């Protein structure tokens, strides 16, 4: 991308060598221009940036600088940025942008992105913005808002090519060369008289087909249709499972109303993966680097409080064996090993199971086999690390009884870790709770409690009776 600057920009700020990449030099230059209220320089600095890079720049700035930058840019603000930032930062930007600027954004953004922007506004603001949008664009956005946030109806592209099956290939080729079709499409959907898809013709097949044939004759009847109300997890699974590049979206009557392509699904899968990673770490989806400190503190506090309660449970178990710990100091030295190994093993099993549930690899048909597999892995690892821990304990303390106790406790806790790692997410999933969000704290509690109880209990029974 060519770099465009003004004399003022050259004099007032140092430009990074590569336009489009957010560097520390660019962030400093923007901050300096904001301090000087130099709008000309600001426009020159951010104009070469892609919307995704602009979004990264906003995250790199302080909250007050973000607001000042958007206000200073005014009509030069790129509406595409609103589709590149997370919900937290988008809400912050919407508070600054005027209704006229939002109306321009709605006109320029894809329908699905425009719907998400409007969805974050109050009803009065939403009406004010929509009143400034052309009727055709307004109708499409309002239609998108009728569907749930994560449904196919909200996320689909509303521009597609649908033709009747009786049309010849020659006529279809003339049609797709006209300005009546979207700029980008890969498939032509064959429709019946009621607008229901009956087949699909990939564009490359159309180009190679005999011009005298009809679309119905060259269409493939193998077509995966997605009802508009389908949740994004469900249709993302269909794309991944059947290796789809696009799929038609149908309304309640089976009529074609939109198309979902693989590019959109890739973005959805990335978002889902990021959400799972955050959830497994006890961090909510609403948290980001742009989120306010107090909101982030509140989001993290809830799970940290749950962890505190579970830690107290583990401490209570330790308290039962206070006498044993006072007599054999080595127990206090070694007991974290058993609990820590159990926690890590449980997290490994948990991660595999949660991922298998999300991708529908784990079903009622193979649940018993997966259960037996994870238990066997837990047992084998338990035996292996029991031998290692026993050898280290004997070499450290020269006590065969203590070595035997930690070996047996290791086997017990790694078995418990395997059981918890698979049973906890399965139970939560069956009760309708997202296992990625809640499983970790329960699995850690099980491995801590079982680890401490088995090690200290065995030590008390074997060494102090």
The confidence score (pLDDT) of residue 1 equals 34
The confidence score (pLDDT) of residue 165 equals 94
How many angstroms from the chain centroid is the CA of residue 135? 34
CATH class of this structure's domain 293-463: mainly alpha
Query: Which residue is it, tokens 């664009």?
Result: 137
Distance, CA of 328 to CA of 464 (rounded, Å): 9
The confidence score (pLDDT) of residue 284 equals 58
The confidence score (pLDDT) of residue 30 equals 93
The confidence score (pLDDT) of residue 327 equals 77
Distance, CA of 33 to CA of 36 (rounded, Å): 5
Average pLDDT per consecutive 10 residues, the chain (465 residues; last block may be shorter)? 38 42 88 92 90 89 89 88 83 85 84 83 85 84 87 91 94 90 90 94 94 95 93 88 91 94 84 68 58 70 75 85 83 90 91 83 87 94 95 92 94 95 91 78 90 92 83
Radius of gyration of the chain from Cα atoms?
A: 30
| Domain limits, the chain | 7-151, 162-278, 293-463
The confidence score (pLDDT) of residue 10 equals 39
Specify whether the CB–CB gap between 8 and 40 falls below 8 A: yes
- Collapsed DSSP state (helix, strand, coil) of residue 313: helix
CATH architecture of the domain formed by 7-151: Alpha Horseshoe (1.25)
E strand intervals along 243-316: 246-250, 256-261
CATH class of this structure's domain 162-278: alpha beta
Q: Choose among 449, 456, 461: nearest CA to 339.
A: 449
The confidence score (pLDDT) of residue 307 equals 74
Q: Residues, the chain, total?
A: 465
Q: Which parts of 328-366 fold into alpha helices (H)?
A: 329-358
The confidence score (pLDDT) of residue 278 equals 64
- Whether the CA torsion 236, 237, 238, 241 is positive or negative: it is positive
Distance, CA of 126 to CA of 135 (rounded, Å): 15
Between helices 135-145 and 111-119, what is the axis angle to 10°? Answer: 70
Distance, CA of 258 to CA of 186 (rounded, Å): 14
Distance, CA of 153 to CA of 250 (rounded, Å): 8
- DSSP per-residue string spanning 366-413: THHHHHHHHHHHHHHHHHHHHHHHHHHHHHHH--HHHHHHHHHHHHHH
């Amino acid at each position: 991308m060519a770099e465009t600057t003004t004399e003022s920009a050259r004099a007032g700020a140092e430009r990074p060598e590569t336009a489009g990449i957010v560097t520390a030099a660019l962030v400093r230059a923007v901050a300096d221009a904001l301090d000087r209220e130099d709008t000309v320089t600001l426009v020159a600095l951010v104009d070469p940036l892609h919307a995704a890079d602009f979004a990264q720049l906003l995250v790199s700035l302080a909250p007050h600088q973000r607001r000042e930058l958007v206000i200073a840019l005014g009509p030069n603000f790129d509406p595409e940025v609103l589709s590149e930032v997370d919900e937290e930062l988008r809400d912050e930007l919407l508070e600054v942008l005027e209704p006229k600027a939002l109306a321009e954004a709605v006109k320029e953004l894809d329908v699905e992105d425009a719907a998400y922007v409007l969805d974050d506004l109050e009803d009065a603001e939403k009406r004010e913005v929509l009143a400034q949008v052309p009727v055709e664009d307004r109708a499409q956005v309002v239609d998108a808002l009728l569907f749930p946030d994560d449904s196919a109806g909200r996320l689909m592209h509303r521009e597609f090519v649908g033709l009747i099956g009786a049309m010849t290939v020659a006529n279809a080729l003339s049609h797709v060369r006209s300005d009546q079709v979207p700029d980008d499409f890969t498939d032509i959907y064959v429709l019946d008289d009621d607008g229901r898809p009956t087949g699909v013709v990939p564009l490359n097949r159309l180009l190679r087909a005999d011009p005298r044939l009809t679309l119905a004759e060259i269409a493939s009847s193998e077509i995966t249709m997605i009802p508009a109300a389908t949740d994004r997890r469900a249709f993302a699974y269909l794309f991944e499972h059947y290796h789809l590049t696009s799929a038609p979206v149908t309304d309640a009557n089976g009529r074609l109303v939109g198309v979902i392509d693989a590019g959109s699904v890739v973005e959805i899968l990335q978002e889902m993966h990021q959400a799972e990673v955050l959830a497994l770490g006890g961090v909510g989806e609403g948290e980001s680097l742009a989120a306010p400190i107090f909101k982030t503190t509140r989001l993290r506090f809830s799970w940290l409080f749950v962890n505190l309660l579970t830690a107290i449970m583990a401490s209570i178990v330790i308290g039962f064996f206070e006498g044993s710990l006072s007599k054999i100091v080595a127990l206090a030295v070694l007991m974290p090993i058993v609990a820590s190994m159990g926690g890590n093993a449980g997290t490994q099993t948990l991660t595999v199971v949660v991922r298998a549930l999300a991708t529908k690899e784990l079903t009622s048909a193979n649940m018993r086999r997966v259960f037996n597999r994870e238990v066997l892995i837990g047992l084998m690892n338990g035996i292996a690390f029991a031998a290692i821990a026993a050898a280290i304990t004997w070499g450290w303390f020269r006590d065969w009884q203590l070595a035997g106790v930690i070996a047996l406790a290791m086997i017990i806790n790694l078995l418990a870790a395997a059981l918890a790692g698979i049973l906890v997410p399965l139970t939560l999933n069956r009760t309708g709770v997202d296992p990625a969000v809640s499983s970790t704290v329960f699995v850690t509690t099980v491995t801590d409690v079982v680890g401490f109880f088995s090690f200290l209990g065995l030590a008390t029974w074997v060494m102090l009776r």
